[in-house]
Amino acid sequence: MTANSRPQVSVLGLGAMGSALAGALVKAGYATTVWNRSPGKADDLVAQGAEAVPTAGDAVRADGPVIACLLDHASVHEVLDPLVGELAGRTLINVTTTSPARSRELAAWAARAGIAYLDGGIMAVPSMIGRPGSSVLYSGSAEVFGQCKPLLDEWGTSTYFGEDAGLASLYDLALLAGMYVMFAGFMHGAAMVAPEGVTAGEFAASATPWLKAMAESFGEFAAVIDGGDYTVEGQQSLKFSSLGDLLVASSDQGISTEVVAMVQGLIQRQIDAGHGDEGFARIIESIKRPG
């Protein structure tokens, strides 16, 4: 493959994630043009074969899809609004983390300008890009997803959720919600055992297999939730799931009860509403309908 025949792409934003995305494309043989607001971020990529340009406009004027991996939603508009005329007729793939509503706003902005738009949510840390386990979620233009899939697959497993540009962001943030609450639960447990001289590493050795095993229950919970019957036999009841002892033990250890109290609050609302004999999955009703 000659330099002139290589597929081309431009990457705007060279933070840790943007640099990882651009690096994976350079490694895969793409003629990659890169831009970053602050100088110096492109040096390693240039050494690998990327071409750095001084302005975002220069990057947009290069051929191929334009990838935006910027700080936030406002940054995307700040960088691209002045270039909207040059983006007309082009393909824009935005993997900047944002909310579903803001993803939809960008899709509408792109449609008015004649820009083919795909929104992405990255389910990976920079070191995972291009490696097994990396996943990127997409929504927006089905045509762009189909045409650019070979490029997208260089970053990780590519999953498309439909024409609604906000769905990738929604899935991204929903999955992160599960991750962060799980992390907080692990740290709460580590804090509980710390006063007894147990290190976080020692606790992790016990917590990892336990939490992995419990994650297998997601499908069972999902079946109950989708079925809408929280009285199905075999479920642990809300009364039995009460975290009173856990709250007392946490206080006795001199640590915050905030993480556990949050879950107990969801349980107690359903018990107070007369559902104490129903299954634990019913706490989703507390989440769906804030008190």
Q: Are 148 and 173 within 8 A, CB to CB?
A: no
pLDDT at 88: 97
Characterize 206-222 residue by residue with b for buried, 16 or more Cβ atoms within 10 angstroms of its Cβ, and e for exposed.
ebeeeeeeeeeeeeeee
Q: Can you give the three-state secondary structure of the chain, one letter per residue?
A: CCHHHCCEEEEECCCHHHHHHHHHHHHCCCEEEEECCCCCCCHHHHHHCCEECCCHHHHHHCCCCEEECCCCHHHHHHHHHHHHHHHCCCEEEECCCCCHHHHHHHHHHHHHHCCEEEEEEEECCHHHCCCCCCEEEEEECHHHHHHHHHHHCCCCEEEECCCCCCHHHHHHHHHHHHHHHHHHHHHHHHHHHHHHCCCHHHHHHHHHHHHHHHHCCHHHHHHHHHHCCCCCCCCCEHHHHCCHHHHHHHHHCCCCCHHHHHHHHHHHHHHHHHHCCCEHHHHHHHHHCCC
pLDDT at 2: 44
Characterize 178-188 residue by residue with b for buried, 16 or more Cβ atoms within 10 angstroms of its Cβ, and e for exposed.
eeeeeeeebeb
Per-residue pLDDT tens for 161-201? 999 999 999 999 999 999 999 999 999 999 999 999 999 99
| CATH architecture of the domain with residue range 171-288 | Orthogonal Bundle (1.10)
Q: For the whole prediction, is pTM greater than 0.85?
A: yes
pLDDT at 291: 74
Domain coordinates of the chain in residue numbers?
3-164, 171-288
Per-residue pLDDT of the chain (291 residues; tens, 9 = 90+): 445 578 999 999 999 999 999 999 999 999 999 999 988 899 999 999 999 999 999 999 999 999 999 999 999 999 999 999 999 999 999 999 999 999 999 999 999 999 999 999 999 999 999 999 999 999 999 999 999 999 999 999 999 999 999 999 999 999 999 999 999 999 999 999 999 999 999 999 999 999 999 999 999 999 999 999 999 988 999 999 999 999 999 999 999 999 999 999 999 999 999 999 999 999 999 999 987
Q: Are 120 and 93 within 8 A, CB to CB?
A: yes
| CATH node for 3-164 | 3.40.50.720
pLDDT at 1: 43
pLDDT at 4: 57
